Amino acid sequence: MRVVARIDELGAADLDRFHFLRDFPTDYFEARERFCESAKAIGAKLFRYPIAVDQSLSIDVATLDTNASRQRLVVSSGVHGVEGPLGSAIQLSMMRMLLQEELPSDLGYTLIHAVNPFGYAHHRRWNEENVDLNRNFKCSSNTYSGCPAGYKDFESVLNPRTAPSRLEPFRVKAFWNIALHGVQAIKEAVATGQYEFPQGLFYGGQAECFSSRVIRENLRNWLSESNEVVHLDVHTGLGRFADYRLLLEYPADAPAATWFRDLFGRPIVEDGGSHPTSYDARGTFGRWAMSHLASLDYRFATVEVGTHPIVRVLAALRAENRAHHYGTPRSDVEWARQELRECFCPASPKWRRKVLNDQLEVVQRCAQHLKQGIGNRSEAVGSC
């Protein structure tokens, strides 16, 4: 059986059956071009914020307002650059649905495309400063410090100062440590955010990054006059293949947690008191947004879509980071980059079809219930 490798090889009947393939751009530049064209087609306002190191790379924001857009749905993509394709596909599909009147037209919409454009363009989770942006949203500069004790224990294993190789036994070591300590303990130690190893995994930076500053300075304006907001921030790489969870930073009894649970139920919704899929990270976009927009009824959920097993994903992050910092022409650099792309946006048509359909259903359900009003004020977990 021949596998179709290019979308332009498909006939009309196949295009209809495989429409979901069209919604996944092949790279950042195609994604950005199509995002901007689609935004113009629906009459949205467009805002562009190019990054300093490469003016061809930018955060792009589309806002669509109506005369009565007190309620608003926000969808952001690409905080972790290499995870951008699914979020971009969702945003492109949403704009097509708005053209076809398959989403409510009396809501406001804000679509934030490629929060980390450098990472999206270069197939990295991290930005141009090797910073994990979802560890960089802090309330003050004096919070960019510290490192979990467990991270220091694993640092030399996580961040070897050598080029990657397919032959090393990292996965064996990882499985051994999981057997000793448990997968949740490893996640909490390794991935919650560290501020001491600039070339290491999950580095949160020493100051506010460009992308974080753009969000801080403009997010409120992108919401126009809306005061009831649901924000879905799209991520991939955690959880079972093609399954998804809505990860909340609220206590279980908060009105926002109840609202999401009533819409989607357990186990889809994981509140701030339970972390079977995630971990309690520092400096997150969601916690920052809820803290800084506390005057609004602002409900934030991280959409986390599963791909490959966690050990494979961690191994891919480790290999790509080594390739970026220490790669040589003779090392497995291209393999490391391809493996990272696969771990965050699998090539499987079944995965792409299911996850896109699932997330468009999430979007539609949130939009329909937003129209009814969301009522009581949200309550965030702790401070940012």
Bridge partners for 203 per DSSP: 194
Q: What is the pLDDT of residue 3?
A: 36
Block means of pLDDT (10 residues each) for the chain, 384 residues, are 37 46 89 97 97 97 86 97 98 95 91 98 97 91 85 89 87 72 72 94 96 97 94 97 96 92 93 67 92 94 96 94 91 91 96 96 95 63 54
Q: What is the pLDDT of residue 1?
A: 30
Radius of gyration of the chain (CA): 20
CA distances from 128 to 44, 52, 119, 178, 186 (A): 29, 10, 7, 31, 27
- The burial class, CB within 10 Å (0-12 / 13-18 / 19+), for 83 is buried
Out of 3.40.50.2300, 3.40.50.150, 3.40.50.450, 3.40.630.10, select the CATH number for domain 7-147+193-307+345-370.
3.40.630.10
- The residues spanned by each domain of the chain are 7-147+193-307+345-370
> Which strands form 108-113's sheet, in the order they lie side by side?
45-51, 54-64, 108-113, 71-76, 228-236, 297-305, 244-247, 269-270
Q: What is the pLDDT of residue 381?
A: 52
Exposure of 16 in the CB half-sphere (CA atoms within 13 A): 2
CA-wise closest residue to 133 among 74, 183, 84, 189: 84
d(CA 294, CA 350): 40
Q: What is the pLDDT of residue 28?
A: 98
Q: What is the pLDDT of residue 91?
A: 98
Residues making up the chain, counted from first to last: 384
Strand residue runs (E) in the chain: 45-51, 54-64, 71-76, 108-113, 228-236, 244-247, 269-270, 297-305
Cis-peptide into 309, omega within 30 deg = no
CA-wise closest residue to 151 among 167, 162, 139, 135: 135
